[in-house]
Amino acid sequence: MRIDLHLHTTASDGLLEPAAVMQAARAAGVGVVSITDHDAVDGLEEARSAAAAARLTLIPGVELSAYWGRVEFHILGYFFDPESGALRAFLQNTREARHRRLHAMLSRLQAMGMAIPADDVFGRARNGNVGRPHLARALIERGFVTSADEAFDRYLGTDKPAYVPRADVSVGAAIRVIREAGGIAALAHPGLYSRDEAISDLVREGLEAIEVYHPQHAFGRAARYRRLARRLNLLVTGGSDFHGAAKGDHAATIGVPSLPESEFDRLWAAAEARGALRGLVRCAS
């Protein structure tokens, strides 16, 4: 059975609606999925009904942006209660910070001769959960760049001319809100940061898992993080980080890589031990 615990939808910066992602997962032979939209859980309800129809096991998920010092990390949450008051308040504050940040980035782009109406960017974001990928797509459509990669490399990436840092949410705060909602906190794609010295700090903050299987963890990275997980007694997660099918815009393939079922069994057992399943049933593949 293929397992993909890292999927994005239009509830954040993905290109497909939640129901369409569930259908694509089924078509790809995936049996267990998690929607992990950036700082949002708005797509979970639609995904839940679509997953049931497709006979998929859907794990509640989210991907929170946070900082370790000046370095941005992404913290994945699994098996939490989506209705948690603390989590909902956290996400609302994050959404408001995203709005302020995007307006500041639009101002910087305008000063560089690239005027983009705010409505053109916010209109691409479901429920106002706007992010840099939405701005990148607006830049592409207006002919300022030819791909999302170019948009980030030239203007939107860290320390680039239009980049504005996000409001400072600490990794500790992100981990705590996931745990307060009954979930398991995991570090997303550690190989993208090349800051392995931070992981012990995150474990002290309550991190319980690490994403070992990811499209960017080639050339021995997966093996390295698998060994680190064992050494630190961390659970293992993984998935495709699927955002859509547009060339140069997170063109990953659902279910590639796939989390080994034995590792998912350990995640499930940990959630069950703390009573975090909340009636969740594993569907037959």
- Would the pLDDT of 158 be above 90? no
The one-letter amino acid code at 285 reads S
- Would the pLDDT of 209 be above 90? yes
217-244: average pLDDT: 95
User: In the beta sheet, which residues pair with residue 27?
Assistant: none
pLDDT for 70 equals 83
DSSP secondary structure string, 90-135?
HHHHHHHHHHHHHHHHHHHHHHTT----HHHHHTTSGGG---HHHH
pLDDT for 199 equals 97
The one-letter amino acid code at 257 reads P
User: Which band of pLDDT confidence, cut at 50, 70 and 90, is reported for residue 95?
Assistant: confident
| Residue 250 backbone dihedrals phi, psi, to 5 degrees | 55, 50
Helix (H) or strand (E) holding 3: strand 2-7
pLDDT for 131 equals 85
pLDDT for 285 equals 56
pLDDT for 135 equals 95
- Would the pLDDT of 98 be above 70? yes
Write out 199-224 in H/E/C secondary structure. HHHHHHCCCCEEEEECCCCCCCHHHH
Query: Which of 1.10.15, 1.10.150, 3.30.160, 3.30.2170 would CATH assign to domain 91-156?
Result: 1.10.150
pLDDT for 219 equals 83
pLDDT for 109 equals 97
CA 224 to the chain's CA centroid: 22
Domain 2-84+170-273 sits in which CATH superfamily?
Metal-dependent hydrolases (3.20.20.140)
Q: With both helix axes pointing from N to C terminus, report the angle between 171-180 and 85-111 in degrees, rounded to the nearest 10.
A: 150
pLDDT for 246 equals 59
Q: Which residue has the higher pLDDT, 2 or 98?
A: 2
The strands making up 209-213's β-sheet, listed across from edge to edge, are 2-7, 30-35, 57-68, 71-78, 184-187, 209-213, 235-238
| Residue 11 backbone dihedrals phi, psi, to 5 degrees | -70, -15
Domain ranges of the chain: 2-84+170-273, 91-156
Q: Which residue has the higher pLDDT, 247 or 125?
A: 125
pTM assigned to the model: 0.86
User: Which band of pLDDT confidence, cut at 50, 70 and 90, is reported for residue 218?
Assistant: confident
Q: Over the chain, what is the mean pLDDT? A: 92
